Amino acid sequence: MAKQFLWAVFDKLTPARRVLLLIALVLLFANMQVSSPEKGHELRVFQFDGSFWGGLLLAVLLVLEIADRVVMKRDLQIAKEIQAWLLPPAPPPVPGLEIAFATRPANTVAGDYYDVFPRPAAQTPGSEYLIVIADVAGKSVPAAMLMATFQASLKTLAATASSLTELVGRMNNYACGNSQNGRRFTTTFIAEYDPGSRALNYVNAGHNPPILRRQTGAVERLTAGGIPLGIRQDAAYHSGAVSLEGGDWLVIFTDGVTEAENAHADEYGEARLMTVLAANLAAGPQALLNQIMLDLDRFAGDAPQHDDITLLLLKAV
């Protein structure tokens, strides 16, 4: 364990600081004594104790690392503020829908994305809305950077005239150029909602299937689509379609919700999410969202959060 710890620390240091650490460790255990005979049979003894200098070098190394961490923390806080600008502060008014959403990053910045916005490139401008949720593989800074590129490509490509499957296909081709040969893929659910007809066309690109709970109690899963974005160039995607009626609920979430763990490594699971949904059907989306987040907190307790949590709730009215 000591060896693994030493290698873990050593691997995180810059080359110059690795040399400094090695010198400090050598000095810590250096204790040199040299005898020198003089005239008159006197003996002079020279003693060198390197523990002081080794400890001093370790202290200098520690100060340098702490300074870097302080700068990094400040940069992460700035990144968190920038990321907040990329996400909508509040859901827009959409005729026939009540909407609520929330996100909780596992670290300072997250790889989850969500948005609801009108699509001006639709055949009848202003009449259709895009509903999007995405989850970039990984966490923290790398995932947050790819989330920003996802947001930029979505906003740019959504402004051009194209079908929903064409839009997703173009986003996939763009993502393939930034996914490190598929290692940084993105799962996403993109839907286009027409308030006039209440039609919801969607593409599920490898994302957790959203839950559509009808007013009658029937449950549908929205699975039509294809593989996650960024894995294969020119991948084929197909769309699904549903019609939303008054009282229907659509629950869209990332895997950080259902895979949240408690202290016993038990997962929250979709069954528990469905139970909270069934117990709050008469509530509004914001009230249901609050109940789900509270239930997640009760379930997880003091266990650390391992993944970003994002929920997007829609209720047809």
User: What is the per-residue pLDDT across 249-268, written as a single tens digit (0 to 9) for each?
Assistant: 999 999 999 999 999 999 99
Report which of 112, 121, 104, 209 is spatially closest to residue 157, judged by C-alpha positions: 121
pLDDT of res. 125: 47
The alpha helices in 99-199, defined as continuous H runs, are 140-158, 164-176
Do 243 and 170 lie in one domain? The reply is: yes
Do 63 and 112 lie in one domain? The reply is: no
pLDDT of res. 317: 92
Domain CATH number, residue 177: 3.60.40.10
pLDDT of res. 38: 58
Answer whether residue 246 is part of any domain: yes
Two structure tokens written together for 103: 């996100």
Answer whether residue 159 is part of any domain: yes
Between CA 136 and CA 147 the distance in angstroms is: 6
**Dihedral over Cα of 185, 186, 187, 191: its sign:** negative
Count: domains in the chain: 2
Domain boundary among 54, 81, 108: 81
Do 164 and 301 lie in one domain? The reply is: yes
Do 165 and 310 lie in one domain? The reply is: yes
Is 224 buried (19+), middle (13-18) or exposed (0-12) by CB count in 10 A?
middle
pTM as predicted: 0.77
Domain boundary among 60, 81, 102: 81
Between CA 233 and CA 169 the distance in angstroms is: 9
Do 111 and 138 lie in one domain? The reply is: yes
Do 139 and 253 lie in one domain? The reply is: yes
Answer whether residue 5 is part of any domain: no
Answer whether residue 29 is part of any domain: yes
Residue ranges making up the domain that contains 170 = 90-316
Answer whether residue 7 is part of any domain: no
Answer whether residue 6 is part of any domain: no
Do 22 and 135 lie in one domain? The reply is: no
Q: pLDDT tens across 186-226, in order?
A: 999 999 999 999 999 999 999 999 999 999 999 999 999 99
Do 128 and 54 lie in one domain? The reply is: no
Report which of 253, 187, 254 is spatially closest to residue 226, judged by C-alpha positions: 187
Distances (CA, A) of 84 to 9, 75, 136, 175, 240: 33, 14, 16, 22, 31
Report which of 122, 120, 147 is spatially closest to residue 254, judged by C-alpha positions: 147
pLDDT of res. 105: 87
Do 164 and 310 lie in one domain? The reply is: yes
Answer whether residue 252 is part of any domain: yes
Do 50 and 133 lie in one domain? The reply is: no
Do 20 and 167 lie in one domain? The reply is: no
Domain boundary among 23, 54, 81: 81
Between CA 102 and CA 80 the distance in angstroms is: 15
Residue ranges for the chain with pLDDT beneath 70: 31-49, 71, 75-76, 79, 121-126, 179-180, 182
Coil, strand or helix at 315: strand
Answer whether residue 211 is part of any domain: yes
Do 190 and 64 lie in one domain? The reply is: no
